C-alpha cells in the first residue's frame, strides 16, 4: 500500500446529513455558482450568498441590469453549487459539494427585504453599499431540494419541501 486513497469509479448512494453539511458549507464558503436558464441554454454566475438560519432559503444580491437577473425573472428555476474546493489543496475524497435546486425571486423593499438584507450583510458586511443601491436586487431562492456529493462519488439527495423544520 502506498497510502494513496483509491478514487471510486462508480456512484454510491450516500447517507450524509445534508442539512448539517449545507450549514457548514454555508458558514465557511463565501461564494457559490448560480445556474439559470438563458432561453433554454445554461448560464452560470459566481455569487456571494448567505443561508437563512432554517436553511430553507438562500440570499444573494445582483445588479438588475444583468443576464443573470433577466434569467431569474424569466423562469425563476435555478441551481446553486456550493463547494469547498477552494479551501485548501484537498484531494478528491475530501472535497464536498451541494447542489441546491429551487426557485428564485427578487424582493421588494420593505420589512422582509430588511430582514433578508440583515442576514446577508451579517455574512458580507463589505457589500452594504452594493445591496442598498437602487440598481441592485436582493434575491431569495426558495430551496426545493439538495444533492450532496462527497467522497468523490457518494450522492445523497434530500427533498427540502417535505423535510420537517
**Domain containing 25 — which CATH number?**
2.30.110.10
| Cα 98 to Cα 114: distance, rounded to the nearest angstrom | 27
Q: Is residue 161 part of a domain?
A: no
pLDDT exceeds cutoff 70 at 157: no
Range of the domain at 42: 12-115+127-145
| Mean pLDDT, residues 156-163 | 62
Model's pTM, two decimal places?
0.81
Of all residues in the chain, what percent carry a pLDDT higher than 70?
75
Quickly state the pLDDT bin for 1 (edges 50, 70, 90): very low
Grid cell of 26 as nine digits: 454555508
| Mean pLDDT, residues 123-141 | 97
pLDDT exceeds cutoff 80 at 26: yes
Least confident of 6-10, 71-75, 135-139, 149-153: 6-10
**How many domains does the chain contain in total?**
1
Q: Is residue 67 part of a domain?
A: yes
pLDDT exceeds cutoff 70 at 154: no
pLDDT digits (tens, 9 = 90+) for 46-55: 999 999 999 9
The pLDDT of residue 124 is: 97
Amino acid at each position: 500500500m502506498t497510502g494513496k486513497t483509491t478514487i471510486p469509479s462508480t456512484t454510491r448512494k450516500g447517507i450524509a446529513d445534508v442539512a448539517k453539511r449545507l450549514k457548514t458549507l454555508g458558514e465557511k464558503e463565501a461564494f457559490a455558482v448560480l445556474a439559470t436558464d438563458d432561453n433554454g441554454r445554461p448560464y452560470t454566475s459566481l455569487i456571494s450568498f448567505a443561508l437563512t438560519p432554517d436553511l430553507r432559503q438562500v440570499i444573494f444580491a445582483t445588479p438588475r441590469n444583468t443576464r443573470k437577473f433577466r434569467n431569474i425573472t424569466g423562469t425563476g428555476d435555478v441551481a446553486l453549487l456550493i463547494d469547498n474546493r477552494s479551501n485548501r489543496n484537498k484531494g478528491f475524497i475530501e472535497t464536498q459539494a451541494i447542489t441546491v435546486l429551487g426557485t428564485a425571486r427578487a424582493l421588494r423593499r420593505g420589512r422582509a427585504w430588511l430582514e433578508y438584507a440583515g442576514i446577508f450583510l451579517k455574512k458580507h458586511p463589505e457589500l452594504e453599499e452594493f445591496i442598498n443601491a437602487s440598481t441592485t436586487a436582493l434575491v431569495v431562492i426558495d430551496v426545493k431540494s439538495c444533492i450532496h456529493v462527497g467522497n468523490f462519488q457518494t450522492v445523497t439527495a434530500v427533498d427540502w419541501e417535505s423535510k420537517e423544520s
